[in-house]
Amino acid sequence: MSMTNTWTCLLLLFALFAVGMTTGTQCPTNCSCIGDSSSATTSMTVDCQGHPDVDPERLSDQLDSLLSSNLTYGRLRSLSIINSPLTHVPRSLCRLTTLTELHLDHNRLTGLPHNCLSNLSNLFRLTASDNAIVTLHDGVFDGLRNLYSLDLRRNRISSIGLSVFAVSSDLDSLFHIDIAENNLTSLEPWLLERGIIGSFGNVVWINLTHNNISKFTNEMGYHGCDKGIPFTNVDLSDNNIRHIENILKGWQLDIGTLVSCYGINNGQVSMMVWMNRNNILCDCVNYNFYKIEIGWQNNYNLIGWQRVPAVWKLMDCTIVDPITKKSSSIVSNVENLSLFVCELTERCPAGCVCVRRPANATLHVYCSSKNITVLPL
């Protein structure tokens, strides 16, 4: 055999080994299995590439066989099962206690299994984006002390168990939580309790953008900062929050308690919350909150939001003209506080529009369309 042919054969053998069991009987039908090139496989990707002929039940059985084999069991550090019609996590996966990374993206998972993930105590990163998960049940992540990053974007999550992210779940290392683009409509104050594990140098990041959150509840019994100051940055942009007061009432917090729930260190604050593009109203209900926030900024005379000693990042709000009903966005500042208005309907003369402007404590009655000749009662 010539030297050229020898090298060709060696390259072919290496290529076959590098793709693991792509052509073998253990790789699920119509999927590709890509592993590392070591004698003991420590990483593997099972990619079904959205193939229409992959049967989900057969796939689950074949994955059980694959993940229980001597080639993977007790060795895997990283596992990816992606682009498949898989609807549930194979039970064999729950025994892969050496895993540090698990990626279950672009499948059809309807939920995460009970009494399974808690066995993966070495898990550092878990992603299950682009699935059909509806609920996060209590205990689903319990015991994952080393879990640092959780990505559940683009699912159908509409409810989260009260203790999923609570301190009692022992998620001592979970600093990145991404539940963007789901179906959440209400929110418990777990995001405040989660921040207790953080510090000025290591803040907990939580992404809840692009849900439909409008309601805030406190069934978990959160009592302000009695367990510690939360160090967290939370993004609630692109939801359906109309009044900031609803958050305080729902979580049973007052301004005084809220102020005590954050710390300041060299101009850096312990907690920030973004609420951009929520159609928050520039009305009398939100007026007091914006007034307090702007007052805090002026008192500290600091430049840049990252140095403002406030829990909530001031955002634009939407003002609705009570006469024309046209809406427009304004930047919240001292001058624009005078634009905050509330329409009053009780005892307002028929056919007229009554408006209260809290900045200067005035009442405006508009009856221009009535052609009245005497003042209404």
- Give the three-state DSSP class for 286: helix
Taking only the tens place, the pLDDT of each residue in 71-88 is: 666 789 999 999 999 999
Asked whether residue 236 carries a pLDDT value surpassing 50, the answer given is yes
Stronger pLDDT, 370 or 289, i.e. the higher one = 289
Is the per-residue pLDDT at 24 higher than 50?
no
Query: According to the model, what pLDDT value does residue 320 have?
Result: 87
Residue 140: the pLDDT is 95
**Across 285-300, average pLDDT:** 72
**Domain boundaries, given as residue ranges, for the chain:** 1-108, 184-340, 341-377
Q: Which range, of 17-31, 157-171, 312-326, 349-363, averages the lowest pLDDT?
A: 17-31
Cβ within 8 Å of residue 50, ≥6 positions away: 83, 84, 106
pLDDT band at 295 (very low <50, low <70, confident <90, very high): low
pTM of the model: 0.85
- The amino acid at 178: D
Record the tokens describing residue 128, joined without a space: 């299950």
Least confident of 123-127, 254-258, 324-328: 254-258
Residues contacting 121, CB < 8 A, separation 6+? 97, 143, 144, 145, 146
Residues 189/218, Cβ–Cβ less than 8 Å: yes
- pLDDT top residue among 372 and 335: 372
Running DSSP on this structure, what letter comes out for residue 293? H
Q: Does 340 have pLDDT greater than 50?
A: yes
Q: Is the pLDDT at 12 greater than 50, yes or no? A: no
Confidence of residue 3 (pLDDT cuts 50, 70, 90): very low
CA distances from 44 to 51, 54, 242, 317 (A): 19, 19, 46, 48
Check if the beta carbon of residue 29 is closer than 8 Å to that of residue 62: yes
Answer yes or no: are the C-beta atoms of 141 and 147 closer than 8 Å. Answer: yes
Query: Which residue did the predictor score with more confidence, 172 or 291?
Result: 172
184-340: what CATH class? alpha beta
At residue 369, the pLDDT reads 72
Pairing of strands 149-151, 176-178: parallel
**Considering just the CA atoms, what is the radius of gyration of the chain in Å?**
28
